[in-house]
Structure 1
């Protein structure tokens, strides 16, 4: 019996199914690629102010600064309207404010209007917040190797088993032919 073919088939399957070696800490020259999606955000600006909002679940973080100097703005009163709902932002740090939403915002475009008041200054800013569907809900967002990898591994295993079975069958047929 020719043992070389089944061993070669198993070696090929093993080589194809072995995960690639990955560099560990300190041995990776390339910067890490970002994983997952960036949280939804909006940026509103006027001649006096810049306001950026970042949605993290039910928390909306708001960053407010002066347009000309990029200096953080503290002690502002910010009233926010998201579609039809109105919220008052609470101070949360140096130029930072936050709004806790009672429920997550639905996917799609949300109209955003911010009314700012700081001493004698007042401003009205408007824009949109675009919220994507969750990435894990969309199978097309999954990397191709994760979608097709299990099928490819199964096909390779099937080819290896069929190759082994055929080589054994040929081996037993040649032994029977030699006996006759």
Structure 2
């Protein structure tokens, strides 16, 4: 059964108004391509400064983990940076690590009093995670997390491309990620 707290949008995550947006970061936290580059560019130098401070304190962010920073010039209040796995034919626990990205981002959101959060399609760009599988993991992880909390009022999956949007739409219409 689908959770009515989950919403699907096709668009640019840097323009979404939620308490937090999730960044598909790399382990250096210093910005990169795709959604990571777009978030850093739109958010301005405050995000990079906060990421550098985290790097100096803990040495970056490991795959599957998440850290939180200011959102700088973005319409959100926070950016939660999570490092998705690089696809290696499913041989390096990629599915578990991707699910951990969603779980750890949502856990960090709850700890910081975040009520609304937007996710991009983590690992499906230059990390080459198969889009169908990534969408199923994302929907399943978020649905399971929401079943155990009322603190998160809305989760928005923001798909930049039509292919991801169609995959998420189908999964959410079915009300299942299996």
* Greater RCO (Cα-Cα under 8 Å, separation 6 or more): 2
Q: Greater share of strand residues, 1 or 2?
A: 1
Q: Greater share of helix residues, 1 or 2?
A: 2
TM range (shorter): under 0.3
The alignment's TM-score, normalised by the length of structure 1, stands at: 0.22
